[in-house]
Amino acid sequence: MPLPTFSLNYKNSSGISWCWLVAFLYCLSGVTSLAYEVLWARMLSMQFGVSIFGVVLTVAAFMFGLGLGSLAGARWINRCNAPLTLFAVLEIAIAMYAIMLPNWLRAISGWMEGVAAQFSLTQWYLLQGAEVLCLLFIPALAMGVGFALVLKVVDRTPLSLGKLYGFNTLGGVVGALLPLWSLPVLGWINSVRVVALLGFVVGVAALVLSKFTQPSDATIRSVENNRPSRPVLRTLMIYAGIGAGSIMLEIGWIRMYGMVMLRTEYVLGVILAVFLLGIALGSMLLPRKHNKWLPMVLASLTGGGVLLSVWLLPSISTWVENSQFQSFFGALWSQAIVLVMVTLPVTLALGAWLPLLADRFGSTDSSGVWLYGANCLGGGVGAVLASLLFMPLVGSPAMLSLAGLIIVGLGLLWAHSRWAWLILLAMLPIAWAVRGLPPVHELLPKIEANSSDLYLYEDAISLTHVVRQQNGQRILLSDLQRMDASTEPSAVEIQKDQARLALLLHSEPHSVLFLGLGTGISVAGSQPFPELQRTAVELSQGSIFAATQWFSPVNNNVMDQAQIVRDDARHFLSSTPLHYDVIIGDLFHPDLAGMGSLLSVQQFQRARNHLNVDGIFVQWLALNQFDIQSLKVVLRSFRMVFPNAQMFMDGMHLALVGPKNSPPGAQGTIENLHRMAMQTRTLATGNEGVWTWLGRYWGPITESDGPIQDEWMPYIEYSLPRARYDGNVNLENMMMWLLHRHPDTNTAADILGVDAADKSQFGRAYVATELAVRAWVASIQGDGEKSGRLIWLAYQANPRDRWIANALADNMLQSLSQASQHGFSQREALQKILKVYPDHVGALRALWHLEQASGNTQAAESYHSRLLALSPLDSEVNVTS
């Protein structure tokens, strides 16, 4: 039996149909609903430190709330005589709830950090999950009831279920995109307030509009005598299964295409908008006269489209890698259009199912509420299954294929032909063929050509690869992103330097905490320091296994000498009672979804809270990942927590050094080294000496006005992607800006407390560092001659600096053909290179080959042994070892 209806005066004196005004308001309601979802997912990605977890929890909470709210509305709405008024009240209540939610979240977040010590990581996640479900379920429940109310209002009007659902979903497209503008401009809290204001306007407008609607006599009789009908349970269960498969598709696409395409905080909004656009069009464009073959057609479109989206992944990834986008919005819209083309057949079919099935049961509006509720509940289950079961067990591509097959199989249950099942049978071998993630050399053919995958691990937190390159070296990729996590000799040294600098600056470190493990090579840099307790916190299980099994030849099996804790850095710092002499923040891509919170004021404060009285926190930054404005934001945030903060430069990496109290000085570093044996000192400094390290000082972080990186008002996650695509991430400009901030030698010596007797050594190392940076700037500008001169001068000032000596050795190797013009044989020229930099791999390899060709077995073996020690995974060296 149909739901009770209201008889509207369809047109006013101006000819405006009231039902279309209701549809417009419900479209705006869709804007607010999806904007809330994206904003709250962003908040959760900050809390969990991993975006996909925040997405899953938000989607699950919304789906369960929408589903139960819709079903409750379908069951009890016959008691409501003023549905539009109640809808208005709910919209206003949701808006008020949203305005208060940030304050509640802050209070709960502070409480959770206070009790974190009582919970393991799993328990903490479960507690956060319960918090999310409770807080987001309530407004979602109201939204679900609102769907039933609006359907009752427009029943027996020209507005069909498909059009109403489509209008609401089109509003959702706008709502999914709205935070992409509001978050960078307004911040998270103000964005929520703006959306809440729009929701309040919708509620007030609906309240005004409700004054023009009156229940008809037929409606009153229906309320008194009728109960709402619903489709049979079998139908509801099937459509719930389609809902589960749909959300699994959404989450799988966010993981896969977010990994190869947008890779930023913008990914969720764009993919949601693309997903909803197809659903809206499918719902609105479904013809009123349904062909009996339509279920089979929709099932075929879904399954074929899903399998095609998985099969096209390498091609799309290659296109993204090779494309030169001229602007951020050009990249955003270009990639969004490609996503639309890939997913549109699937989402059109998903959108058409609701009006199609509702129409089959006679009363479109009544059955539509029940079907919508069942579909949403299934979606909530699908979100949970995707993150906890399918992604860890079979991986995202197989999950997508499986979801597509599930939807096909369920859809074919409504097809009136046994032959239709041949469609599913035909798809099975295709699904089997695309079940695995393509190898990295297919996803990144430009930078990882001829590589081979050694290890792959995926869960809801991250996707981890260990890749063997053509030369035998290994790299660690997290969600296809690399940050110097390589076994190349120069990359190994830069990773070890992360520990060396931090530990050298403390006068007597006995404990060190690494926030991030990676390959374990950075932890290996701490091995020369005596009586040191090492702890490393890493959330990714894949990284922990990779460091233990695949990178042990270059991290010196340091995993056996350190306590490895699988935990979220935020939870660990909130829960551990321990304090440390040194805490080191690892390198990461700051513009990736969920990562910017690691550079927030709150995270820096957590680190400071766990330093001993004379402790030091060091956060490493890769300069090629920042524009100047974003770096200023990080510096400002860091100084807010560490007023005596200093900077050091190591190659293209900047170290932010935050002492808990007094700033580190030269005498503390010298005392630290004097307690070690001579050989240990050499290893602790990487054979560069104390003055090389102190010479890398770059001055204090000065006070400045401007925005900061706050977990509740993020900045860099949204500014950096724009800067990167718009060409503002410019290493030359960054280096020039830093050179202008570099203090003169005497000022630097005074800040570090260098004794008068040591100022000459310090001054030479300090000047050499600046000359090297100027040489790199000249090289970027294409002035090789100037760069060569500056490197030569830098080497004269400080020949022990590894980066300077290596750069000079590279220049000498490149001009090897000119050696004979200066009276040197090839052997003599190569040996001169090794005098400049004894660990130069290119020169050692050339001498090894030269001595082999000359039959000098003993000399060849000597060079080979040195190569093997420097580069144990080199394929050429290993073949003959």
Structure tokens at 816: 């090897």
Rounded Cα distance, 152 and 70, in Å: 12
Using CA atoms, how far residue 876 sits from 487, 816, 871, in Å, is 14, 22, 10
Q: E-assigned strands of 599-679? A: 611-622, 646-650, 653-659
For residue 290, what pLDDT is reported? 63
Q: Tell me the pLDDT tens digit for each residue of 288-325.
A: 666 678 888 899 999 999 999 999 999 999 999 998 88
Cα gap 211→832, rounded to integer Å:
92
Find all residues with CB under 8 Å of 730, minimum gap 6, and list them.
627
Compute the distance between CA of residue 33 and CA of residue 101 in angstroms, rounded to an integer: 15
Beta bridge partners of 534: 512
- Alpha-carbon distance 381 to 245, whole Å? 9
Tokens of 597: 């919170």
pLDDT band at 365 (very low <50, low <70, confident <90, very high): low
pLDDT reported for residue 221: 47
Give the residue carrying structure tokens 């970027």.
780
The mean pLDDT of 721-747, rounded to a whole number, is 92
* Number of residues assigned to the chain: 881
Is the predicted pLDDT of residue 119 greater than 80, yes or no? no
Q: Which helix (H) or strand (E) holds 625?
A: none
Cα–Cα distance list, 493 to 251, 485, 613, 773 (Å): 38, 11, 30, 18
Rounded Cα gap, residues 308 and 312, in angstroms: 6
Amino acid letter, 151: L
State the Cα–Cα distance between residues 873 and 475, nearest whole angstrom.
11
Residue 839: predicted pLDDT: 95
Q: CB-based contacts of 833: which residues, under 8 Å, 6+ apart?
A: 809, 812, 813, 840, 843
- In angstroms and rounded to an integer, the radius of gyration of the C-alpha atoms of the chain is 31
C-alpha to C-alpha distances, 701 to 26, 581, 639, 663, nearest whole angstrom: 51, 21, 7, 12
Which of 848, 869, 867 has the alpha carbon at shortest distance from 859?
848
**Closest to 608 in 3D by CA, of 647, 571, 582, 572:** 582
Distance CA 806, CA 796 (A): 13
Q: Strand pairing partners for 305? A: none
* Closest to 513 measured CA to CA, from 529, 495, 526: 526
Average pLDDT over residues 607-625: 96
517 by Cβ neighbours in 10 Å (0-12 / 13-18 / 19+) ranks as: buried
Where does the pLDDT of residue 225 fall: very low under 50, low under 70, confident under 90, or very high at 90 and above? Answer: very low
Is 685 or 261 the better-scoring residue by pLDDT? Answer: 685
Confidence of residue 96 (pLDDT cuts 50, 70, 90): very high
Give the pLDDT confidence score for residue 222 in this predicted structure.
Answer: 47
DSSP class of residue 663? P
Of 274-288, 348-362, 685-699, give the range with the top mean pLDDT.
Answer: 685-699
Q: Are 669 and 503 in contact (CB under 8 A)?
A: no
Sheet containing 474-478, strands listed edge to edge, beginning at the edge strand earlier in sequence: 452-458, 463-468, 474-478
Q: 665-677, pLDDT tens digit by residue?
A: 999 999 999 989 9
Q: What confidence tier does 52 reach under pLDDT thresholds 50, 70, 90?
A: low
Residue in this structure with the two tokens 């809270």, named with its chain if needed = 609
Token pair in block for residue 246: 């749909």
